[in-house]
Structure 1
């Protein structure tokens, strides 16, 4: 099809939506399609209206996250709405494309392999940290390909090269750190099975390197995924194991992070006492103590991040009087370039305000949250947007909420 522009794709999708809508028996108006799409998405009928469907059909706007639900309403696959002569966006890569089927950490022991020294290890470490910094401002869907390429490169470096015992250990440490951030990116992109395999690779590398703090950090990241993906009990167990692996002598930030993840795991199973105990211990762990080296991957763990987790726990436990002040305080000074995190934290503020029976402010906050999340390629922000809209549906009689629900798509433009 040549150089297909985004506008071309929008117009082609819009034409397909219009054609299928008008061919529907009985005939569906744009308003009826909007209503059926909201029903398919499980949200109140107000978030999507006739004007939004019209914008889609004329190619003025892309349906984005609404596309699967429009397809479901029309009784067709998403592929049938895409341009017929243009390939769909390439699927996200899987781990199998990047790592060997056997033990990824088994050295090939090639005597002719390139000699690897600390210079290569330092280069790898800089790329790993660069990936972490990129994750601060970009979402999983945007980073999954470079993350998996780096992981493959690191594993091949370890397997194919020859290196001393010290270099070998440092390579394993970097693979463990890379697996932690790559697993996080895969999880954010919605590739949970791959994320778990990546995390397990990182745990193996860190354990072989003898770095217990790193073992605990990677295991804690997997526990966090469990807690957020329907494996709440497994999340508690693994979070406890991760804390134990880190050890009492772990850096303050590592222990605080492990305790924070344990608090969240307890939140997901409704263990209030466990939550309060873990949050208290996390705050105590971060109190300054004897100076020692801190791993680079802990650069972001600070008192502000602990307050964010505390506020999220209180929100999930339906304690808005404690959650709202904390969230307001943290968000007032939060780095606006971290769009994904800002959108996520605003979503918890929406929920806390709704629980506090403040629907007007909840609607205003939701408008800001949804606008930020609109162009973020993250499974988590998409899920939180749907959760927020469903929650605000309880206040549809409030004018500010009704306006938001009726105008939500325009606000994301």
Structure 2
């Protein structure tokens, strides 16, 4: 059990209620004050509510984001974070270098048997040896969860990645800086073909004087390349390598002065957290990206980040926060593209079909906590399929599998089997990656209806294709 934050609760109870004269401030009063202050200072709507205040007071969250801490200090008239019982990261020495970790993360690793996390905030960002790129995925033989604990080699808490913005978000400042083009070249040379376009960028980066427009363009190209490597590693379930390259992409983009691209890299890292069922970590990463781009983000980038935030709320089962964030994503999307969005492919590619598909999949996640949301998942994903560009075959496969899983939740197994049958011909080229993971999820979830002939037959097809 986490230790309650008595200092925070005492500070709240010293504050007069803004809604009931003569009473102490409730958690809702504090949440309203924080949300109002954040809107006034950042023009960004944060999903800060009474439920989150309760988590803070129970000690479930000991080190909230910099934005939340600043707002709470203002609302509760606190001189510093310590006055509100917030525990900063612990610093200790290991092998001659400073490591910054969260106390809760230390306790978690201790409970898991003392695994040393090679992908922590100060792990070497150079590529792993080739054998690590073929590490077991989320599922081992027979479709079972990988026997190697992911927590032993993966960590995506915001304490790890907010160091991309030293001094801006206020959460740690001791990351090893990227000081030279040579260091960057050493980090990518094992992965990128130096004889092709990637090699040209590396040579240009190495030869360019520091601080010039040429260097910034080269760093930006490096960020894009690192993002590609990260996505490829993630798609093959090499989570440790993917995390390191997502972090590297964010660092390089920040050095290049492109905070939108850095935010997209963090959003990708958050999505990796969600794939690994670590929504609290993913939410912190998304909030960091939102805070870092609070003054510069275009509406479409805000929409991308809002969908990631909604993902976290869905996995956590927080329906009010999820609906509120989905409305924000749709509102931001409706404002259209801006000139700068074309430079960030992940932002530009968020069309209406993708938005519908992402929201629908998140409603399906939410339906795990309340099955009434499954119908909304089916509605959104159905609209995504109708709108989807025929050339985006892989996205359509994800839509069909997601819709099938939503129909399992509403106990319509024949329809689910029919949808998987539609997806399988196009799914074949990608079954070794995340498409295969989603099909395995379907295979497992459909086990409840294994006696239904249509389900039995399609599960056999899936099992044969994936060797489940």
* Same fold flag (TM > 0.5): yes
Q: Secondary structure at the match of 2:334?
A: coil
* Aligned counterparts of 2:421 and 2:193: Cα–Cα separation in 1: 32
Alpha-carbon spacing, 1:70–1:219, altered in 2? closer, same or farther (3 Å):
closer
In structure 1, the residue matched to 2:401 is 347
| Kept after mapping to 1: 8 A contact 2:353/2:385 | no
Query: How far, CA to CA, are the matches of 2:194 and 2:351 in structure 1?
Result: 25
Q: Are 1:308 and 2:357 an aligned pair?
A: yes
**Deviation of the 1:384 alpha carbon:** 0.9
**Residue 442 of structure 2 corresponds to residue 388 of structure 1:** yes
Structure 1: gaps spanning 5 or more residues: 1-64, 73-101, 110-143
The aligned residue for residue 169 of structure 1 is 216
* Structure 2 residues not aligned, in runs of 5+: 1-136, 145-175, 184-190, 368-372
Q: Larger relative contact order (C-alpha < 8 A, sep ≥ 6)?
A: 1
More helix by share: 1
CA pair 210-409 structure 1, distance change in 2 beyond 3 A: closer
User: How many Å separate the matches in 1 of 2:403 and 2:387?
Assistant: 15
* Pair 1:321-2:368 in alignment: no
**Cα distance in structure 2, aligned partners of 1:176 and 1:290:** 22
Q: Which residue of 1 aligns with 2:392?
A: 338
RMSD: 3.3
1:9-47 C-alpha deviation (Å, 9 max, x unpaired): xxxxxxxxxxxxxxxxxxxxxxxxxxxxxxxxxxxxxxx
Following the alignment from structure 1 to structure 2, what is the Cα–Cα distance between the partners of residues 214 and 375? 29
| Alignment match of 2:281 (pick from 234, 255, 262) | 234
CA shift in 2, pair 1:70/1:245, >3 Å: closer
Q: Cα offset for 1:400? A: 1.7
1:25-64 counterparts in 2 under 5 A? none
Structure 2 Cα separation of the partners of residues 354 and 404 of structure 1: 13
1:209 corresponds to: 256
| Structure 2 CA distance for aligned equivalents of residues 337 and 147 of structure 1 | 31
Q: TM-score, normalised on structure 1?
A: 0.61
CA contact (8 A) 1:239 1:265 kept: no
Equivalents in 1 of 2:327, 2:317: separation in Å? Answer: 17
| Contact 1:270/1:317 (<8 A) preserved | yes
How many Å separate the matches in 1 of 2:403 and 2:413? 11
Contact 1:190 1:378 in 2 (8 A): no
Distance 1:292 1:266, change over 3 A: same
CA distance in 2, matches of 1:362, 1:226: 27
Which of 406, 419, 428 in structure 2 is aligned with 1:365?
Answer: 419
Deviation at 1:308, TM superposition (A): 1.1
* C-alpha distance 291-382 of structure 1, shift in aligned 2 (>3 A): closer
May I ask how many residue pairs the two structures share in their alignment? 285
Q: 1:349-406 CA distances to partner (integer Å, 9 max, x unpaired)?
A: 0111111121111111122223332331542111111111111111122222223234
Alignment counterpart, residue 376 of structure 1, candidates 427, 430, 438: 430
Alignment map for 1:36-185 (pairs within 5 Å): 69=141, 106-108=180-182, 154-162=201-209, 165-185=212-232
